[in-house]
Each structure stands twice: as structure tokens, then as C-alpha cells.
Chain A
């Protein structure tokens, strides 16, 4: 494994407010590898926006260290920090374009900051407009562009200084589903083809599934789980992860509470989905099972199926059914009845 491009070491952030100290981030430790698409997911108020702002020091961490490309950002002078920031672009939920500049003018802005000569900046901006598919809107002002087009301009602007990292703060949250998909495809292309490391902040699991290969789940200012998206999807360890990955599961659970004793959640790749495991199990063990929920998902380009089934009431039979699943090498986790947080 190569050196991480971004390392957050024991990062904490406290805000002093009238109501007392708010602990927005608590001891965050996270390594982001170059070329990764690191998702950071959490509900609103979890601290994910503060976290991403700690990476480029728009928010200064109260404690801890931020290391970018082998250099500690905390403790740099303003001037040195500004130079590092040029290697780390950011896009926003509200696009944050300059309203008084046209598309190409917006894209030239970071180049002006970096001191690139005007003619060269213009040329570069035109190339970038091509990448984001907006060549014909070069002289449109943001007020004349749709949300999706504005975000494309913002992405082109972010790419202007050839950054190593692109920080995306809820970049698709203000967009409709269709535009969201197109923007996410573009981000993925940027990650795969240009090799730019992505840090994707979102509250939507679909965004993570579509773009990211790594995920960190943040709850109340703490990272409660992190790892490969595949692994976390297949075997989520934390309550928070389950809640985010399987929001439907909870509903089903309450509905079937009375009848449900031994429930398990299966996650399978599509290759073993061809085998009729469930029906084979019923035929072989001669005991019924009840399918409570089933769904197909594409996670990080791989099709995953998931199913929540209710095993036989009889504990012994339920154990045999579980053993059968284990023998078939189907990943499953048991859904506990107790310790549920409402």
C-alpha cells in the first residue's frame, strides 16, 4: 500500500456557541489512499461537512493533524496553506460560482489565483469545458445555467489547477435524480481516468454505492465504521451502517415483529444468485422460510443482492438452516431482536 494522500490524525473540532461547547468532531483518524474514492456518509449534523472542511483547513481543527501529500497542513502559514490548497479542489452543494462571471471566467478564476497567464488559462478552461461537456455554454452566466450545468462548471473549475484531490461536499444534494446520476458518472470518470482522489461527502447511500470504493460512516462527530464499500455493505458492523445501507429493513422488522424470531440478512454476489439456494434449502430441510425483503443493488460496479428471510420458528431447525447457508458459503448476518434503538 502506498503512502496515504490525506491523513487525519486524532482530529477534533470544538465550536464555542452560546449554548456551550459543541464537539463537532471527536478523534477522527482516517487515511485516504491516492486514487481512492473515499465516501464519508452520515446524517445531517453528524459532522461530515466540518470533517471535509478540516481537510483543506477551511475549518481549523481544534486538535490533531492533517497531513496532505506528505506535508502537515496544520501549522502552515497562510501563504503556504494557500499554495497547498491549489492542489486540493472542492465542489459544493450550492455550486458557489461567481455570479458575475460567465462559465469560462469562473473556470479561469483558480488559474488567475495561481498566476497562470490569461491566454493559457483560457485555453485550459476551454479544454475543461470539453471534459464536462459544456463547450457551447462557455459564455453563459450561472443564472442562465441549470443546476446540473452549474455543477459541471464548478467541476471544471475545480479541475483547472490539476488537483490531486477533489473534495465533494454534498455535490449532488441540490440536483434531481437524473442529473445526480450524470454528475456522479462524471465524478467517477474523473476518479478513474484522471486518477484524482475523491472525497465524497453525502447523506445518501446511493451516492456511495455509485462512486466510492471506500467508505467511512460518521455519527455524532465520530467515525463508527470504515472500510471497503463492498465489505461494509456485505457485513456492516455498526448500527449506523445498517441504518444507512438498509433503511427499508427497519420497516420490515417492525411489521413482522410478532412472527419473527430468527431473521437473517443474506448478501450475495450475482454469480451465486444463479443458484436457487433458498428453494434448495426449503426442499432439502423441508422447513418453510419466509422472505421478508429482497433487493438488487449495484455497489461500486458490482451487482449485489440482499434478502431478509425469516427462518423456522423451531430453534433447532433454524440452526440447521443457518448451517445450510454457511455450507453454501452465503454471507449472512443475524438480525437481533434486542438492543434496538428506536
Chain B
């Protein structure tokens, strides 16, 4: 294959991967963050305990998280086709990625928020802070470094999932690796995509650590 064609393919694959990863991560956070917050608040030891809500939402989150991504993708295919009209390509992958990642994000957010010193929450309560104020000005702010580290982990996980979607023609670098590398035995392409993915993960992880560190005032 000509180098220019190869570069063109890689470039498109990279853009598709970045698109899928970024959009799914953002939407997964829009859904997962409030769920994570609600799990912390309604915990038996939380500031607004609601046992039934906590149990049901916790259970649903666990169920989705325990289904392997590939199986979830195939299982959701008919619904995705119904909603967005197609079962392949980046749009379809983004839809599945969101469903898979939102519960994962919710748990990560929950873990981060639970690291916040209960004493500080108690102090805010003693000042007459409303639940909303405690969430925005205590929980989310105090847990900021941990949340950012979690965001790096989520992004990387979603990047990995997006590559997996290549198996069913999901687009992106994973798709490229499978179509050319596996089906056509062009191992060079396969290895190049793998290297590109490794570099992407490295960059994301570094950014996550740097930003989290920079925005942490405890150091």
C-alpha cells in the first residue's frame, strides 16, 4: 500500500477515534456525574440517605458494568439501529460507548467523592449549607484532583472500548486494525495502529496527572 494512502487511513482513523472518545466521555460524564453524586448523597452514611434509590441505582450500575463491552455492544445493536438508523460506524459506537461508560463514570465519581473528609461536610452543614452548596462547593471542589484522575482513567477506558468496537465495524483506529491487519494480513497497519493507540493513552494519562496535580492545593 502506498504511504500516502496509509497515512490518509490512519489520519481518518485517528480523528474518528478521538471523536468517539471525546464525545462519549463528555456525555458519559453528563449522565454519570449526577448519578455518582446521587449515590454518595443517598448512601446510608450520606447526607440525604434514601435506601431504596441507592440500592436500585447501585444495582443497575453494577449490572451494566458486569456485562462485557463486546456483548453489550451486540445486545444493544437493534436499539441503536432503531434510534439512530444504523448499527455501524462512529455514531452507533458513540451510542453504545455512552451506555457502557456512564455507569463506570458514576462509580468512579462515587469513589472520588467518598474520599472527601466527612468532617469538612459536617462543617459545611454546621454553617447551614444547603445540599446543593455542599455538592458544588464541598464535594466536587474538594474531590477535584481525584475526579480529574478518574476522568483520565475513564477517557482511556473509553478509548480502549472504542477500539474494540472495530470488531463490528465501529470505525476508528480499531476498525482499521481489524479490517487491514486481521482480515487482510497487513500486520504493519495493525502494529502502527497499536502504536498510535499506545501513544494516545500515554498522552491522556500524562495530561490527567498533570492537570490533577496542578489543580490540587493540598500540595
Tell me which residues across on chain B come within 8 A of A112, comparing CB atoms: 133, 137
A85 adjacent to B141 (CB under 8 Å):
no
A82 adjacent to B129 (CB under 8 Å):
yes
Is the CB of A295 closer than 8 A to any CB of chain B? no
Give a binary string over B46-75; 1 marks a CB under 8 Å from any A CB, 0 the rest. 000000000000000000000000000000
User: A141 CB to closest chain B CB, in angstroms?
Assistant: 5
Is the CB of B138 closer than 8 A to any CB of chain A? yes
Q: Which residue of A lies closest to B119 (CB)?
A: A96
Which residues of B, 144-167, contact A by the 8 Å Cβ criterion?
144
User: B94 CB to closest chain A CB, in angstroms?
Assistant: 33
Which residues of B, 89-146, contact A by the 8 Å Cβ criterion?
117, 119-120, 122-130, 133, 137-138, 141-142, 144
Tell me which residues across on chain A come within 8 A of B7, comparing CB atoms: none
Tell me which residues across on chain A come within 8 A of B128, comparing CB atoms: 81-86, 110, 113-114
B141 adjacent to A98 (CB under 8 Å):
yes
Is the CB of A181 closer than 8 A to any CB of chain B? no
**How many Å lie between the Cα of A101 and that of B126 in the bound state?**
18
Residue of A83, A110, A167 ringed by the most chain B CB atoms within 10 A:
A110
User: B211 CB to closest chain A CB, in angstroms?
Assistant: 14
Is the CB of B206 closer than 8 A to any CB of chain A? no
A98 adjacent to B138 (CB under 8 Å):
yes
Is the CB of A291 closer than 8 A to any CB of chain B? no
Residue of B126, B142, B218 ringed by the most chain A CB atoms within 10 A:
B126
B123 adjacent to A96 (CB under 8 Å):
yes
Is the CB of A161 closer than 8 A to any CB of chain B? yes
Known: A96-B117, A112-B137. A90 touches B126 (CB 8 A): yes
B218 adjacent to A161 (CB under 8 Å):
no
A92 adjacent to B142 (CB under 8 Å):
no
B217 adjacent to A110 (CB under 8 Å):
no
Pick from A58, A78, A81, A100: contact of B216, CB under 8 Å? A100
User: B138 CB to closest chain A CB, in angstroms?
Assistant: 7
Is the CB of B5 closer than 8 A to any CB of chain A? no
A100 adjacent to B142 (CB under 8 Å):
yes
**How many Å lie between the Cα of A89 and that of B127 in the bound state?**
6
Known: A58-B126, A97-B120. A143 touches B219 (CB 8 A): yes
Give a binary string over A60-98; 1 marks a CB under 8 Å from any B CB, 0 the rest. 000000000000000000110111111011101010111
Q: Which residue of A lies closest to B122 (CB)?
A: A58
Tell me which residues across on chain B come within 8 A of A85, comparing CB atoms: 125-128
**How many Å lie between the Cα of A100 and that of B128 in the bound state?**
20
**How many Å lie between the Cα of A167 and that of B144 in the bound state?**
30
**How many Å lie between the Cα of A56 and that of B133 in the bound state?**
18
B218 adjacent to A100 (CB under 8 Å):
yes
Residue of A78, A92, A94, A100 ringed by the most chain B CB atoms within 10 A:
A100
Tell me which residues across on chain B come within 8 A of A90, comparing CB atoms: 123, 126
A109 adjacent to B218 (CB under 8 Å):
no
Tell me which residues across on chain B come within 8 A of A92, comparing CB atoms: 119, 122-123
Is the CB of A99 closer than 8 A to any CB of chain B? yes
Q: Which residue of B lies closest to A105 (CB)?
A: B217
A143 adjacent to B122 (CB under 8 Å):
no
Known: A96-B117, A98-B141. A161 touches B127 (CB 8 A): yes
Tell me which residues across on chain B come within 8 A of A88, comparing CB atoms: 126
**How many Å lie between the Cα of A142 and that of B133 in the bound state?**
21
Is the CB of A102 closer than 8 A to any CB of chain B? yes
Q: Which residue of A lies closest to B126 (CB)?
A: A90
**How many Å lie between the Cα of A30 and that of B117 in the bound state?**
31
User: B148 CB to closest chain A CB, in angstroms?
Assistant: 12
**How many Å lie between the Cα of A142 and that of B218 in the bound state?**
7
Tell me which residues across on chain A come within 8 A of B144, comparing CB atoms: 100
A-B contact pairs, 9 of them (CB 8 A): A82-B129, A85-B127, A99-B142, A99-B218, A100-B216, A101-B141, A102-B217, A113-B127, A113-B128
